[in-house]
Amino acid sequence: MSDDHDHGHDDHHEGEQEGRVTSPMQEFSMSQVTTGLLVFVVGLAVTFGIPLALA
């Protein structure tokens, strides 16, 4: 079986990484936090609230 992947060659170019920002590094606003918390609460209500109400 042959190895089709070249593990020794790195195509990394310094100029390409300057504009790249990963998610943990990005800033977020309070409205985004509020939306996330609202989605979390609704998810908990659907996951646990409805089954407990029907039990």
pLDDT tens digits for range 11-55: 555 555 567 767 666 788 999 999 999 999 999 999 999 999 998
The two three-digit tokens of residue 27, written as one number = 């800033």
* Cα 1 to Cα 52: distance, rounded to the nearest angstrom: 55
| Model pLDDT, residue 16 | 57
| Model pLDDT, residue 8 | 60
* Cα 2 to Cα 20: distance, rounded to the nearest angstrom: 34
| Model pLDDT, residue 26 | 75
The two three-digit tokens of residue 6, written as one number = 């070249």
Looking at the whole model, is its pTM more than 0.95?
no
| Model pLDDT, residue 38 | 98
* Cα 8 to Cα 1: distance, rounded to the nearest angstrom: 18
